[in-house]
Structure 1
Amino acid sequence: MPSIDALSERLTEYLDPTQIQKVRRAYFYAAQAHDGQRRKSGEPYVTHPLAVASVLAEMHMDHDCLIAAMLHDVIEDTEINYDGIESQFGDQVAKVVDGVSKLTHLEFESKAEAQAENFQKMVLAMAEDIRVIIVKLADRLHNMRTLGAMRPDKQRRIAKETLDIYAPIAARLGMRDVQVELEDLAFKAAHPMRAKFIRRAVVQARGQRRDVITEIQTAIENRLKQEGLPGSVTGREKHLYSIYMKMKRESRSFASIMDVFAFRIVTNTVDECYRVLGAVHNLFKPVPGRFKDYIAIPKANGYQSLHTDLFGARNFTIEVQIRTKEMDAVAAQGIAEHSHYKSTGDGSTAVGSYSRARKWLQGLLEMQQAAGDSMEFIDSVKKELFPDEVYVFTPKGRILELPQGATPVDFAYAVHTDVGNSCISCRIDRHLSPLSEPLKTGQTVEIITTPRAQPNMAWLNFVVTGKARTSIRHFLKNQQMHESVELGRRLLNQYLAQFDINDEQVDQVKLQKMLEDNNFKNFDELLQDIGLGNRMAYVVARHLRPGDNSEDENSDKGVDGKALVIRGAEGMVMHFARCCHPIPGDSIVGKISAGRGLVVHRAECRNMNAKRDEGNRDIFIEWADTSDEEYGVVLELQVESQRGIIAQLATAVASAEGNVRQILSGEKDGQMNAVTIELMVANRVHLARIMKKLRAIRQVNRVTRT
């Protein structure tokens, strides 16, 4: 069991006596605060914060971080509050402790919602002080080491959360040592039998491979000596979870994965890294297409190294990583590598890792601000924590790191939210490409924008970055709110017109009473409710009409005002019914649908006749005089079976300036075929011209509009 004296002895390596004394004082403060509390294992509770501080001491974290580790459960589990810690240990320590603490005093509908809220709160604290997440990861690491004291179902739940959130965060921050241990401990808790069998197989394979590993390592060391290059060569062990995931992801056997021998060469300078690369390529033949230069283009978490695959002795594949000592330290500890606390911004590897982590946290903060709730936010974060990246270039040569499978829309939002919102098309390597095309490393992407453009809901089907997904949802949500308010205003004014007033002339006393009775904060919320179809405009109009309201609210005197004029492209709260496909020139009526807004039908639509029979009210609407939009319409044809008839039909539609979206050939009845054509037209006159062209084809017996 760790002791404060043993920790103090270890801290003498890099902290001065005054700072060590502050850490000791924090320990005794925590011991007193947690007095009488015990862990599930039966140990005094204070052993946990002491162990967390010991984990951070191995990373050489500063004394404030160690003090926060000692106190990280004090706010959550004792009577001591934020002010008490601030008065004793200062503002910085109190903020880190508060960031790590959970939201224990709020009630949530589910465990998942509580976890999401806790994570969201922690991200906000991380944005102010990155040490919050370092303390949290150390806390989670010790909890995983002592997970055996928990019930099996709780072990599995905590293990899943660790694999979903905390291990990927450790990877994203470059803290590989923490990531590997978290993954292996979580794997063991979630799948104990699988972990046991893989561990046994690894131990057995290690013994069989010892001679080959020694032979390859000696050959590399001898070649480096011949070239006069410094460098230590060590074999790399694959950890259990990575072996399991590789077997699962690539459907490979354990033997095929273990046939690959991995080595790491650590040298002094970047120049020596590239010279070592040349030496090993002279020793063994490189595998084409398997070289990656993460020194010139670091990973998103700041990781730097040269990776190469070689054909080695006895026909084995060799994986070699080449890096400097500083790169090796950052690869192991990432932003926790202590040199960045002492650096002066000289562009070192640790400083680069730290700045990238800050940039990532800033991105999380933007996502949090745009997200609708904590569950949506944590879903976006999970999608953001991809282990593989693609590196693409802006036209000016700037490099952007994006997750595997990212599209030009993800790229646009990575450049700037406004670029994503106004994106209409893109060029990849100077060629026009679809916005949904997955990007590949090395491509140059140019985004074409226009001020009138806006995000498309269909983009949510293919974007992969959390920022893009959250920004699109945020824009659409705000736009729907704005459009529903405007539609609600137009609908309300249509019914208020029978009382010779509009929304600006209503009695403010009546309006305020209605808002209070229905728990609306303001008039816009009421209009939004009307526009979304959750409240009927004629009922609201009757409540707000001048004079006495004693008249029966359910009586219907009709609407004396003008019909609602629509232009076609009314946005997200006006929809055209797919049962009858109305187009300009048709007589139309509207139906308010709860949650969707206004649905436009043709006046003769059977569905509308049925709704009238049920007593539903119509909204009187008419087309605007001009519209630049195209509208979908469906035609059913009966044609004689003949080779090339489909091509003739498409040509006829095109000759009348129509746009065919889909042609379906239906059942065949003797020599006759039923054909359904879905096309886009400007109005009823345009449709009539197309139908005339189709009827002119000799093989077409009948053309009808559905």
Structure 2
Amino acid sequence: MSVEAVAIDLELEKKEILKRYRKLLASAKPYLRDNDAKLIKQAFLMSVEAHKHMRRKSGEPYIYHPIAVAQICVDEIGLGATSIICALLHDVVEDTEVTLDEISEQFGSKVAKIIDGLTKISGVFEHGSSQQAENFRKMLLTLSDDIRVILIKLADRLHNMRTLTSMARDKQLKISSETFYLYAPLAHRLGLHAIKSELEDLCLKYTEPEAYKEIAKRLKETKASREKFIQNFIRPIDKGLQDMSFKHVIKGRPKSIYSIHNKLKKSNVPFDEIYDLFAVRVILDVPKEQEKAACWAVYSMVTDHYKPNPDRLKDWISNPKSNGYESLHTTVMSSGKKGRWVEVQIRTTRMDEIAEKGFAAHWKYKGNDTRTNKAFESWLSQIREALDSSDKAQQSAVELVDDIRSSLYNEEVFVYTPKGKLIVLKEGATALDFAFEIHTEVGARCIGAKVNNKLVPLSYKLKTGDIIECMTSAKQKPSEDWLGFVVTTKAKSRIKDYIKEANKQHVIVGRDMVEHRLKILGVNVLTLEVTNQLRAYFNAKDANDLFYRFGKGYIQLDELKRWKSDRESHERKQAAKSIQEPLTNTKNLVKELKKLHGDRKDADALLIGEDMDKIDYTLAKCCNPIAGDDVFGFVTINEGIKIHRTSCPNAPELLSRHGDRVLKAVWASKIEMSFVAHLIIKGTDRMGLMNDVTRVISQDLQVNIQNLSIGVKDGIFEGKIALMVNNTGHLEKLVNSLEQVSGVVEIERGE
């Protein structure tokens, strides 16, 4: 390429950068006041300068990314000037020479604090910890002060997911799984429905591309008939709304690709038979004081035209979700020869804006719904308490993230104290969760409760509308059993605090016992590495859990002898391999793979079938991958590298928590191995069905059956078969043949 061509390209890029910046300013104009435009320009110029030599993996100038993040903040979340400045500068501290002090000096301490919350932690982490979890904890600490940290981070993540095509396959898996595990649930909790749905769809696109393509293809194929169906369905509703003189908009759409995929997996029905595949949204433009009556009037009109399913009525107008979501949902049966279930959502313009833009839109209407504000504040206070508790108890970041993540997707129950105070708890909360919500000491001393004046146990699951009175005793103490039924982050963290305090003595005794026995076995120092190996070997959550279990006698000291023997056997095996680096060092492992494979395509990937004599890896038993499956390698602490399917049930957790231990893995082109595949066959029972199935497998296709179990209930046959296959093509051929057997209705691959 000539110098002149490069100059022209750079000139074009400058024009494009300015074009994008001007578009951002135009979108932001309604949100700007006083000095805002000047500060945004300063932030833009600082970001352009800081990132001037940086390019994204796609080859585009890096500055496109912060501008795009700022644009999402404005257009899709509805944030203002401070957030735009932070979005433009969100990567400068992490990736360039600009410091937080410089940002604070130019833009103030508030902007600097938000950017600090968005900046990843650098450094080396204890093996068994998780860099992603540590960064997430840091972000949550800032979230408790300023929610914009998470909103900007979600905008950042959404743009990264939209531009993920140019990333390497292992990075796509890591980022997608982390997004699905942490960021989509956060978007849900913050009421960002459109962003949550898009994140889930994009995650599916990269983690299970075939499933995504198949559903997208089916939606495209059925688009014309679907649009015709929706037009016919909404015609009488539209006329009814006109007769009622409501100013309104009606939108018809299919469910998201991810939600369809979920329904396919859960219900095991074909695409054409998915329950409530369609959703119709009725949006009314009415004053705030008339909203509730108007929505119920429209519900009445809709159910005059179509028969509703009484079990599918959801009233989030009387009881809004804690993320601010308000709407009336009903599922009705369409008319015509072939009736279909259609979900109808009835809401107002205000409710629709909150449903799409979440709390950013909710702030616009703040003061109008104190209950929703209280519900969200209740969740935020739970996060603050969990963070506070984790600091006191040295709770691992991984454990903390798991606790908080569990609170993200739940619905709520609305219950009351005897004095009528509203308490919002997550669905499934018990009387004991309620007691801890009232006060830590009330929870710790609780022996039972009265719900609606009836005595109930601590494990009683609360229902919306319950009135609860806690009963306490000075002699009561929290017990480990309580962790089996409490569900709120606050109750869990407080119980763990009490138990950890009580168990400190067992931890001290256990550590002394382990150190003494290891010295007898010739291991003179209990180093961090040895502790981590023991923790992984005995499947303990952390070092304290390990020593506690020895101290309590749950693990016998004689087990240490077995651990030492297994470790020495593993070390001898490793010594025979050509790669000597510890497997925990993924970067060094990738370097060695590149040396090993030379100029080969995917030189940084583990070649399954050819590298077995040089690197210690095994196929994971949790998902039984076979040649042809989309897979990744995961570096374990004690068991070398495990090969998992990307659709493995454990994949989201492994990839999102420990992305730094993920290794690219591909199958050798000529792999001569047999794999165990599990099939679940369902159908209608008939005489000779099992014989026909085994004949197709053993005689016609000459496949070895390793294991076979069958069951028949009420005329429905279900067989579980483990068999040896060569690859996914071989398995597909087998499945196609079995589907031709009379009586077989459905075949799915098991784990």
User: TM-score when scaled to structure 2?
Assistant: 0.62
- Return closer, same or farther for 1:445/1:365 CA change in 2, 3 Å cut-off: same
Note the C-alpha offset of 1:437.
Answer: 4.0
What is residue 231 of structure 1 aligned with on the other side? Answer: 248
Q: Does 1:367 align with 2:386?
A: yes
What is residue 459 of structure 1 aligned with on the other side? Answer: 482
What is residue 277 of structure 1 aligned with on the other side? Answer: 299
In 1, the alpha carbon distance for the partners of 2:169 and 2:511 equals: 47
3-state DSSP of counterpart to 2:317: coil
- Out of 302, 316, 331, the residue aligned to residue 309 of structure 1 is 331
Contact 1:293 1:306 in 2 (8 A): yes
Cα RMSD after superposing both structures? 2.8
Note the C-alpha offset of 1:376.
Answer: 1.5
Q: Does 1:40 align with 2:57?
A: yes
What is residue 355 of structure 2 aligned with on the other side? Answer: 331
- Return closer, same or farther for 1:272/1:243 CA change in 2, 3 Å cut-off: same
In 1, the alpha carbon distance for the partners of 2:472 and 2:253 equals: 48
What is residue 265 of structure 2 aligned with on the other side? Answer: 248
In 1, the alpha carbon distance for the partners of 2:72 and 2:357 equals: 12
- Return closer, same or farther for 1:290/1:48 CA change in 2, 3 Å cut-off: same
Letter paired with 2:343? E
Q: Does 1:129 align with 2:146?
A: yes
In 2, the alpha carbon distance for the partners of 1:61 and 1:374 equals: 29
Residues 19-72 of structure 1: per-residue CA shift (max 9 Å, x gap): 122212201101111221111111121111111011112133111110000111
Note the C-alpha offset of 1:444.
Answer: 4.0
What is residue 470 of structure 1 aligned with on the other side? Answer: 493
- Return closer, same or farther for 1:536/1:83 CA change in 2, 3 Å cut-off: closer
Contact 2:321 2:372 in 1 (8 A): no
In 1, the alpha carbon distance for the partners of 2:495 and 2:223 equals: 50
- Out of 51, 72, 87, the residue aligned to residue 105 of structure 2 is 87
- Return closer, same or farther for 1:471/1:250 CA change in 2, 3 Å cut-off: farther
Contact 1:460 1:469 in 2 (8 A): yes
In 2, the alpha carbon distance for the partners of 1:100 and 1:352 equals: 30
- Return closer, same or farther for 1:199/1:416 CA change in 2, 3 Å cut-off: farther
- Return closer, same or farther for 1:598/1:439 CA change in 2, 3 Å cut-off: closer
Between stretches 297-306 and 197-206, larger displacement belongs to: 197-206
- Return closer, same or farther for 1:245/1:441 CA change in 2, 3 Å cut-off: farther
Contact 2:330 2:343 in 1 (8 A): yes
Contact 1:533 1:598 in 2 (8 A): no
Contact 2:276 2:331 in 1 (8 A): no
- Return closer, same or farther for 1:31/1:206 CA change in 2, 3 Å cut-off: same
What is residue 412 of structure 1 aligned with on the other side? Answer: 435
Note the C-alpha offset of 1:400.
Answer: 3.7
Contact 1:205 1:258 in 2 (8 A): no
In 2, the alpha carbon distance for the partners of 1:312 and 1:595 equals: 59
What is residue 148 of structure 1 aligned with on the other side? Answer: 165
In 1, the alpha carbon distance for the partners of 2:309 and 2:86 equals: 48
- Return closer, same or farther for 1:199/1:393 CA change in 2, 3 Å cut-off: farther
Contact 2:306 2:333 in 1 (8 A): yes
3-state DSSP of counterpart to 2:303: helix
What is residue 139 of structure 1 aligned with on the other side? Answer: 156
In 1, the alpha carbon distance for the partners of 2:340 and 2:139 equals: 46
3-state DSSP of counterpart to 2:313: strand
3-state DSSP of counterpart to 1:128: coil
Letter paired with 1:275? A
Letter paired with 2:367? D
What is residue 203 of structure 2 aligned with on the other side? Answer: 186
* Matching of residues 675-694 of structure 1 within 5 Å: none
Contact 1:386 1:404 in 2 (8 A): no
What is residue 89 of structure 2 aligned with on the other side? Answer: 71
Note the C-alpha offset of 1:455.
Answer: 1.2
Note the C-alpha offset of 1:396.
Answer: 3.9
Residues 196-219 of structure 1: per-residue CA shift (max 9 Å, x gap): 001111222332222221112110
Note the C-alpha offset of 1:235.
Answer: 1.1
- Out of 516, 529, 535, the residue aligned to residue 508 of structure 2 is 529
Letter paired with 2:39? K
Note the C-alpha offset of 1:442.
Answer: 4.2
Note the C-alpha offset of 1:16.
Answer: 4.1
What is residue 97 of structure 1 aligned with on the other side? Answer: 115
Note the C-alpha offset of 1:189.
Answer: 1.0
Letter paired with 1:316? R
3-state DSSP of counterpart to 1:384: coil
Between stretches 392-401 and 205-214, larger displacement belongs to: 392-401
Structure 2 gap segments, 5+ residues each: 1-15, 517-546, 559-751
* Matching of residues 137-176 of structure 1 within 5 Å: 137-176=154-193
In 1, the alpha carbon distance for the partners of 2:373 and 2:113 equals: 20
Note the C-alpha offset of 1:413.
Answer: 2.5
In 1, the alpha carbon distance for the partners of 2:483 and 2:197 equals: 33
In 2, the alpha carbon distance for the partners of 1:154 and 1:122 equals: 21
- Out of 210, 214, 223, the residue aligned to residue 206 of structure 1 is 223
- Return closer, same or farther for 1:85/1:330 CA change in 2, 3 Å cut-off: same
Letter paired with 2:322? A
- Out of 499, 502, 515, the residue aligned to residue 479 of structure 1 is 502
What is residue 19 of structure 1 aligned with on the other side? Answer: 36
* Matching of residues 502-651 of structure 1 within 5 Å: 529=508, 534=513, 597=551
3-state DSSP of counterpart to 1:307: strand
Between stretches 194-203 and 312-321, larger displacement belongs to: 312-321
Residues 571-611 of structure 1: per-residue CA shift (max 9 Å, x gap): xxxxxxxxxxxxxxxxxxxxxx9865588xxxxxxx9xxxx
Between stretches 199-208 and 407-416, larger displacement belongs to: 407-416
Note the C-alpha offset of 1:459.
Answer: 1.6
- Out of 132, 151, 172, the residue aligned to residue 115 of structure 1 is 132
What is residue 367 of structure 2 aligned with on the other side? Answer: 346
Between stretches 170-179 and 364-373, larger displacement belongs to: 364-373
What is residue 487 of structure 1 aligned with on the other side? Answer: none
Structure 1 gap segments, 5+ residues each: 485-527, 538-592, 600-606, 608-706
- Out of 404, 416, 428, the residue aligned to residue 381 of structure 1 is 404
What is residue 635 of structure 1 aligned with on the other side? Answer: none
In 1, the alpha carbon distance for the partners of 2:148 and 2:548 equals: 48
Between stretches 403-412 and 291-300, larger displacement belongs to: 403-412
- Count of paired positions: 496
Contact 1:34 1:78 in 2 (8 A): yes
3-state DSSP of counterpart to 2:326: coil
Letter paired with 1:473? K
Contact 2:275 2:341 in 1 (8 A): no
Contact 2:429 2:486 in 1 (8 A): yes
- Return closer, same or farther for 1:100/1:366 CA change in 2, 3 Å cut-off: same
- Return closer, same or farther for 1:251/1:445 CA change in 2, 3 Å cut-off: farther
In 2, the alpha carbon distance for the partners of 1:476 and 1:27 equals: 51
3-state DSSP of counterpart to 1:313: coil
In 2, the alpha carbon distance for the partners of 1:230 and 1:318 equals: 23
- Return closer, same or farther for 1:598/1:297 CA change in 2, 3 Å cut-off: closer
Note the C-alpha offset of 1:469.
Answer: 1.7
Contact 2:51 2:92 in 1 (8 A): yes
In 1, the alpha carbon distance for the partners of 2:24 and 2:296 equals: 40
* Larger Rg computed on CA atoms: 1
Residues 453-481 of structure 1: per-residue CA shift (max 9 Å, x gap): 12110122232332222221111111223
Contact 2:327 2:346 in 1 (8 A): yes
Bigger RCO of structures 1 and 2 (CA < 8 A, at least 6 apart): 2
In 1, the alpha carbon distance for the partners of 2:44 and 2:310 equals: 56
Q: Does 1:287 align with 2:309?
A: yes
Letter paired with 1:71? L
Note the C-alpha offset of 1:136.
Answer: 0.5
What is residue 573 of structure 1 aligned with on the other side? Answer: none
Contact 2:415 2:468 in 1 (8 A): yes
Residues 132-182 of structure 1: per-residue CA shift (max 9 Å, x gap): 111100000111111111111111111111111100001001011111111
